[in-house]
Structure 1
Amino acid sequence: MANVCAICAKGVATGIQVSHSHIRTKRTWKPNLQRVHALINGTSTRINVCTRCLRSGKVQRAI
């Protein structure tokens, strides 16, 4: 699955968008994923990580 964070498993959320005239349509919210080089078990690997995990320091980025 491409739209899933490799750290926290945050994925696509679904719901209903309600307009001003109360017309209800289905919609999705996608996580803000970034493809980064991260150190996993001492090796540099490219993974999809959400920006919340990057900001909170849950990922050790490889340089």
Structure 2
Amino acid sequence: MARRCAICGRGISFGNQVSHSNRASRRTWMPNLHRVKALVDGQPRRIRVCTRCLKAGKVVRAL
């Protein structure tokens, strides 16, 4: 199951978690995804959308 936004394609980011003593360990940042009912090609469907796209109005919600 892909953890990506259906609109912008935002996915998991990787990087280092750096402690106070400057030791680094790998960590991940997950996108803030919500399952919403949206209009896709005129039909209501459930898609995973990040909150940035929701806030920006890039998604037409189906009620």
Superposed CA RMSD in Å reads: 0.7
Counterparts of 1:11-50 in structure 2, within 5 Å, are: 11-50=11-50
CA distance in 2 between partners of 1:36 and 1:2 (Å): 16
Gaps spanning 5+ residues in structure 2: where? none
Deviation at 1:2, TM superposition (A): 2.7
Deviation at 1:16, TM superposition (A): 0.5
Count of residue pairs brought into register by the alignment:
63
**3-state SS in 2 of match to 1:10:** coil
CA distance in 1 between partners of 2:32 and 2:7 (Å): 13
TM-score by length of 1: 0.96
The percentage of counterpart residues that share the same residue type is 59
Stretches of 4+ aligned residues off by more than 3 angstroms = none
TM-score by length of 2: 0.96
CA distance in 2 between partners of 1:54 and 1:24 (Å): 34
